[in-house]
Amino acid sequence: MEGLKLSYSLHLSHGGKTLHPFTASTLVSRFHPKCYLPLSTGCRQYAGFIVQALALVYPKSLSFRHFGMGRVQELRFTAGRTSASMQPITEELEDDKSKDFPTSGDSIRQRFLDFYAARGHKVLPSASLVPDDPTVLLTIAGMLQFKPVFLGKVPRQVPRATTSQRCIRTNDVENVGRTSRHHTFFEMLGNFSFGDYFKRDAIKWSWELSTMEFGLPADRLWISVYEDDNEAFAIWHDEVGVPVQRIKRLGADDNFWTSGVTGPCGPCSEIYYDFHPERGHSNADLGDGTRFIEFYNLVFMQYNKRDDGSLEPLKQKNIDTGLGLERMARILQKVPNNYETDLIFPIIEKASELANVSYTLADDPTKANLKIIGDHLRASVYLISDGVVPSNIGRGYVVRRLIRRTVRTGRLLGIKGDGKGNLEGAFLPILARKVIDLSSHIDSDVKTRAPRILEELKREELRFVITLERGEKLLEQMLAIALSSAQDNGTVPCLSGKDAFLLYDTYGFPVEITMEVAGERGVNIDMNGFNIEMENQRRQSQAAHIAVKLAVENGADLTDNIPDTEFLGYDTLSTRAVVESLLVNGKPVLQVAEGNDVEVLLNRTPFYAESGGQIGDHGFLCVTETGNQLKAVVEIKDVQKSLGNIFVHKGTVIEGEIEVGREVEAAVDADLRKRAKVHHTATHLLQAALKNVIGQETSQAGSLVAFDRLRFDFNFHRPLKDNELMEIEGLVNRWIADATLLRTKVMPLTDAKLAGAIAMFGEKYGEQVRVVEVPGVSMELCGGTHVSNTSEIRGFKIISEQGIASGIRRIEAVAGEAFVEYVSARDNHMKQLCSTLKVKADEVVTRVESLLEELRIARNEVSAMRGKAAVYRASIIASKAFTVGTSKTIRVLVESMDDTDADSLKSAADYLLDTLQDPAAVILGSCPGEGKVSLIAAFSPGVVDLGIQAGKFIGPIAKLCGGGGGGKPNFAQAGGRKPENLMSALDKARAEFVSILSEKTS
């Protein structure tokens, strides 16, 4: 702050006495010599520092008059234990003669979080873009991570929270770059109340944040409220002071938030910024995107919508808000759209450099394309960072589509190769580095995952370039067909909407390019059909991405009576417990008799519930009477978590009758638990070994910890080599042999991450986490069960490695008792093999290779003999050939060759064609096995020259035999599954061929 000169001063008063005047810069410098604040923060921001400092001296209250920023305002500050609150007393608006300064996106984010932290909100981290919620594909809203709390399924950890949530929405992907505000990736700043404060505080704080923290002129802010929400209207007008003419009542479509057909809902209130206040209040439309932008949305979640549509008040009223970071950055940085803020524009500038264009001088279409690249690349980088790999399904399809749109847009801008002269290179990694550079304050994990992100983008881009080239060839074929069809029918050539959409959706061709190329060839495009296909896809996309489904279920009422289950399974495998509830087919019952399946809820349990990839424990619940006589036994085959942290024990009553309120002895199957523990710890060692051998950038993409094996999915772009698998296996077994004691402790999530603990893919963590460490080898956040010493694992063996999706590999392995069983079984197989081959174990490979070579030679000999036999049989039937035609005679042979195999049938056709000489045609059929038909058509050049093609002729004939096929003009093969139809198919072939030849040679 040294040397900072401000154009206003502060006059403080305390206890009715005027204190000495001083400049704000002097005071701030005195109390906060190292602070940094953007100038646009204004006097109010510095006043906050002043109050915090002077509150130490003047603990009760302070007031001052603030001159500057175009207005005079008296402010009173009241010091509290942790922060000072500020309320306006009077305000006189004057002409705004100040000069505003832009504020960085990172600063806006931090100031928002600090603002609400000072008001008792817990700052929580952004959730992953891959939500822990089966109802949505991606994280599309800031409230998603709090959905279980809003539903009452999970008890609130804090009464109020604030976040900066990374979000993905692709339902409006076509608007990206075309409008000033649409994005696929964006940050939603939010403040949330879980049954704590409600409308009044939410409204007042949102106004204070907007006008005082961010310094937005009050006369440029408009408000919308739900048409029936008189309470919100009154707060805005009577308490905040917004004039009536700047408060709009809107209907349910705009200002009533619902989660679905049923569930939590409530009215909304939104704050809009007015870019053109000179247009006045008359007929102002908040939907006018050229004048207004909505930047803050307040949802008052106060009702539950029933099945009949009626609304009932929620027991716990909640606040859910969202402030668009990109939108606020646009306003404060005074740029014409969200893309030209410092959050995105550096990416656009880099793309402009690669495309060799000037963004400033570019026309609107070029600017739009540059914006698309900037937006889509942000989304792709953060999706890949969160573990989403490009594929053709689900989340993978979302990121693949975004990457492909980016690549085709880059090519449309003229970016060739990497844009720097290497035509075989890729340009996405170059731009992605800029995204990664900007990620520090958004997600610190992105930089550590950079190598994997860049490699994935490069591989996907290069793969898609090949697809684009195929699309270009396909377009040429489509245009040729359209022109030929129009010529035959005497119509105007037109490419169907479905074909144009196929090129767009599958091959990445913008419809504009398709129209341009087609226009050059004189072909129209059915744009109506294209738009129908596009709308169908958009509806599917909206259904998949935009709905956050909430529902107040019967289970929510259950949680009012059933507390969370106390888990004792880390320390014991058996305990006495009380049956809190019984469920049959999901419905509560008081007792369950022998032979029925049941779900049992206990107050405490030693059973591990499935999570973190580890399956649930098996075991028994026993009810005993006096003298330890068994009265009832429930066999437990699965345990799941439900409604937050309630353990649901799923099993069957195999003896007696179990009742609610009974005390039971809950006992876990110790042998199966041991098997699970061994495989879980081995999974941690496997991940550590993978990172050592193939690179630290590889990460988990899923896992299964079962009693008989473990399965580990990870991100990697190629199959592992045999020597790599051997090295991984060797490392794990060495760590097992080291007999290392494991360390397990509970600590704050932030401390665990700072210590280097790895999070399990797809898991959701609270503020306190359990860390499992194999000292010197592995440290992971994990709630699973583990061995105490690595020596308990005994041994580790990889049994398979394979690809399961694009960029995702899977390793299956065994450890502990399963390892012993696996090795023992393989040893028995080897002994049997040695006995059969009559060799020693170390001679098995050589003997098998020798047998395979002998088999290959024998098969070749058999094939040659069959071919000779077929030729011999062909020489016999050659005399059955007949001639067709008058001006030109063609020798034709159509015959069956019984059970001749396909290869021999080909040899016979070649022989017959040579024997009959040009011009000749041979059509042969056979039934080489049960349910099999083989067909061959072989035409000499003289027949092909007549315009008759073997490939086109044989296909329809094969259909008669329940099959199909095709080939070249001179030779074609086909097959079928109906041998009983072979003779009638050959008769038809003979008749049709004679008819065609007669016409061609007459």
Residues 6+ apart with CB under 8 A from 861: none
H/E run at residue 854: helix 844-877
Q: What does residue 667 show for φ and ψ, rounded to 5 degrees?
A: -130, 125
Which amino acid belongs to residue 881?
A
DSSP 386-421: TT----SSHHHHHHHHHHHHHHHHHHHTT--TTSSS
Ligand-binding site membership of 782 (annotated): yes
Residues 6+ apart with CB under 8 A from 951: 966, 967, 968, 969, 972
DSSP 49-97: HHHHHHTTTS-SEEEEEEEETTEEEEEEEEE-SS-EEEEEEEEEE----
Ligand-binding site membership of 684 (annotated): yes
Dist CA 257 CA 265 (whole Å): 6
Dist CA 684 CA 715 (whole Å): 16
**Which position has the token pair 């500020």?**
86
**Which position has the token pair 């959701």?**
764
- Classify strands 22-23 and 9-14 as parallel, antiparallel or unpaired: antiparallel
Dist CA 87 CA 62 (whole Å): 11
Number of neighbouring beta carbons within 10 Å of residue 99: 8
Burial 732-767, CB ≥16 within 10 A → b, else e: bbebbeeebebeeeeeebeebbeeebbbbbbbeeee
- Contact status, residue 875 vs residue 911, Cβ threshold 8 Å: yes
Q: What is the 3-state secondary structure (H, E, C) of 290-318?
A: CCEEEEEEEEEEEEEECCCCCEEEEEEEE
Ligand-binding site membership of 276 (annotated): no
Chain CA centroid to CA 647, Å = 28
H/E run at residue 332: helix 325-333
Dist CA 326 CA 194 (whole Å): 26
Ligand-binding site membership of 649 (annotated): no
Q: What does residue 303 show for φ and ψ, rounded to 5 degrees?
A: -125, 160
Dist CA 937 CA 924 (whole Å): 7
Residue 358: is it exposed, middle or buried by C-beta count within 10 angstroms (0-12/13-18/19+)? exposed
Q: The tokens of 605 are what?
A: 């349990």
Dist CA 870 CA 172 (whole Å): 64
- Contact status, residue 630 vs residue 618, Cβ threshold 8 Å: no
- Contact status, residue 661 vs residue 570, Cβ threshold 8 Å: no
Residues making up the annotated binding site for Zn(2+) are 680, 684, 782, 786
